[in-house]
Amino acid sequence: MQFLKTLFWVLLAVVLVLFGTRNWADVTLNLWGDIQADIKIPLLLLIVFLLGLIPTWLVMRARMWSTNRRIEALERHQATAAESVAPASEGPVI
């Protein structure tokens, strides 16, 4: 299974490199007003991908942090509850 995963990532990297080399051309972006920017197509795609990925990743990390805090609080509560429970009697068990 690890081989298939590695093969997938290698093929994806090869496809991205081929796409980048074949489309290494300037694109003119018309920004606000009369401002224009020239940028290569693969760099533009990378910037747009990161602009979409970073907010989603930040939301995921915030949810993981919150979930981990809840789990740790529950584990602390469970540990203190287990310590506070004492045996009912010290007599022999029949």
Q: Please report whether residue 30 resides in a domain.
A: no
pLDDT in tens, the chain (94 residues): 899 999 999 999 999 999 989 999 898 989 888 899 999 989 998 999 999 999 999 999 999 999 999 999 999 999 888 878 755 556 566 6
Please give the residue range of the domain that contains residue 53: 42-73
pTM of model > 0.75? no
d(CA 10, CA 19): 14
Residue 67 lies in a domain: yes
SS3 39: strand
| CA–CA gap between residue 21 and residue 42 (Å, rounded) | 8
How does the average pLDDT of the chain come out, rounded?
88
User: Number of folded domains in the chain?
Assistant: 1
**What would the two tokens of residue 41 be?**
């197509």
Taking the C-alpha atoms of residue 36 and residue 51, their distance in angstroms, rounded to an integer, is: 20
